[in-house]
């Protein structure tokens, strides 16, 4: 499940008429990295939670017979094959109003049914081998319970995240004992922050229904948060977290996005050399080579 119905306010004005998930890292939209990660983890059924102004996502993953025929007619078989490989059959569900990530997850409930499922926040682009989700599913099969992905974050940045309190299970795997949303650095129970991947069990939905009711009645202020739903779940069953090997970029903010573009461009043999030379020249205060 890819919740993609947020408004992307941190990236305005670029996201006024264009979903942030469609901003390209080099030549691939952000969400395509996530979809490829899910496919590599063996996930076949994908649902994207969309909202207003997100049609470009559907168009991107649609078949483009015209474009394929055009490329083939010009002998560009490789490009045609690449374009064909992007299109896949995905399901879309609309979140009428952006009432929070927990609400977005709840919106896709009818398509998930009584199955375990993964939530990918496409903004968090993770370069890992094997992919982040594949590593998490391995942990999920081992612990037999929901698994959150966590990353060690410096204390001064921790208030931007949900943070776990934990007991260690083994290296890189933890049993979550509490979850705190956006704590002050001095109140954070650890330096392990929840990042954009979750492997969940279907009982999260009932926890989210309760959370939605609490928000509606005014007992809980603000959005219907997934973290709060997870907190409710924690009272009923074991929830786990894992740290994985990999490099994460938060492409939902401008600096994180720029870093990700440079990171992925420097991994491309066709771009790395000239880009490095250009960056060195710019950083050195010289005009960049043309």
- 71 or 199: CB nearest ligand UTP: 199
In the complex, what is the shortest distance from the CB of residue 72 to ligand UTP, in angstroms, rounded to a whole number? 35
Per rule CB under 6 A, count of chain residues that contact ligand UTP: 20
> Of 156, 138, 136, nearest to 147 (Cα)?
136
Q: Is 3 in the site for ligand UTP (CB under 6 A)?
A: yes
- Other C-beta atoms lying within 10 Å of the C-beta of residue 285: 6
> Of 30, 50, 195, 197, nearest to 111 (Cα)?
50
Handedness of CA 13, 18, 21, 23 (dihedral sign): negative
Which residue, chain included where needed, has tokens 């903004």? 123
Residue nearest to ligand UTP (CB): 6
- 8 or 29: CB nearest ligand UTP: 8
Site string for ligand UTP, 175-214 (x = CB under 6 A): ----------------------------------------
Phi-psi region of 125 (alpha: psi -120 to 50; beta: other; left: phi over 0): beta
- 12 or 63: CB nearest ligand UTP: 12
- 9 or 157: CB nearest ligand UTP: 9
In the complex, what is the shortest distance from the CB of residue 121 to ligand UTP, in angstroms, rounded to a whole number? 4
Site string for ligand UTP, 112-131 (x = CB under 6 A): ---------x-x--------
What is the distance in angstroms between the CA of the first residue and the CA of the last residue of the chain? Answer: 43
Burial string for 204-243 (b: 16+ CB within 10 Å, else e) reads bbebbbebbeebeeeebeebbbbbbbbbbbbeeeebbbbb
Q: What is the phi/psi pair of residue 24, to 5°?
A: -85, 140
- Select the span of 34-42, 98-106, 159-167, 282-290 touching ligand UTP (CB under 6 A): 98-106
Site string for ligand UTP, 240-279 (x = CB under 6 A): ------------x---------------------------
Q: Is 6 in the site for ligand UTP (CB under 6 A)?
A: yes
Q: What is the phi/psi pair of residue 79, to 5°?
A: -65, -40
* Among 1, 8, 68, 153, interactor with ligand UTP by CB under 6 A: 8
* Whole-number Å distance between alpha carbons of 243 and 232: 22
* Whole-number Å distance between alpha carbons of 256 and 119: 21
- 106 or 143: CB nearest ligand UTP: 106
Q: Is 51 within 8 Å of 19 (Cβ atoms)?
A: no
Q: Is 103 in the site for ligand UTP (CB under 6 A)?
A: yes
- 16 or 276: CB nearest ligand UTP: 16
Looking at residue 159, the DSSP 8-state letter turns out to be: G
Q: Is 99 in the site for ligand UTP (CB under 6 A)?
A: yes
- 54 or 231: CB nearest ligand UTP: 54
Residue 247's DSSP bridge partners are 127
* Among 64, 70, 98, 214, interactor with ligand UTP by CB under 6 A: 98
Say what the alpha-carbon torsion angle 204, 210, 9, 63 is, to the nearest 10 degrees.
Answer: 50
Site residues, ligand UTP (CB under 6 A) = 3-11, 49, 95, 98-101, 103-104, 121, 123, 252
């Amino acid at each position: 499940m890819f919740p993609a119905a947020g408004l992307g306010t941190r990236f305005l004005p670029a996201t006024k008429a264009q979903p942030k998930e469609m901003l390209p890292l080099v030549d691939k939209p952000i969400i395509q990295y996530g979809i490829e990660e899910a496919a590599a983890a063996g996930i076949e059924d994908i649902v994207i939670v969309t909202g207003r102004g997100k049609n470009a996502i559907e168009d991107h993953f649609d078949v483009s017979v015209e474009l394929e025929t055009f490329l083939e007619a010009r002998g560009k078989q490789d490009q045609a094959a690449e374009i064909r490989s992007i299109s896949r059959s995905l399901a879309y569900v609309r979140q009428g109003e952006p009432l929070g990530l927990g609400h977005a997850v709840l919106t896709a409930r009818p398509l998930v049914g009584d199955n375990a499922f993964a939530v990918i926040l496409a903004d968090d682009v993770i370069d890992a081998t094997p992919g982040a989700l594949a590593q998490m599913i391995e942990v999920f099969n081992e612990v037999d319970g929901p698994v959150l992905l966590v990353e060690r974050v410096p204390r001064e940045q921790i208030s931007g995240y949900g943070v776990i309190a934990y007991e260690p299970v083994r290296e890189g795997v933890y049993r979550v004992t509490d979850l705190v949303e956006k704590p002050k650095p001095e109140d954070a129970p650890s330096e392990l922050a929840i990042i954009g991947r979750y492997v969940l069990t279907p009982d999260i939905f009932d926890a989210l229904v309760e959370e939605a009711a609490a928000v509606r009645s005014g007992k809980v202020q603000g959005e219907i948060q997934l973290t709060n739903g997870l907190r409710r779940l924690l009272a009923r069953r074991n929830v786990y977290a894992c740290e994985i090997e990999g490099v994460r970029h938060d492409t939902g903010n401008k600096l994180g996005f720029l870093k990700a573009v440079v990171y992925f461009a420097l991994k491309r043999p066709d771009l790395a050399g000239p880009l490095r030379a250009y960056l060195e020249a710019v950083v050195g205060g010289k005009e960049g080579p043309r």
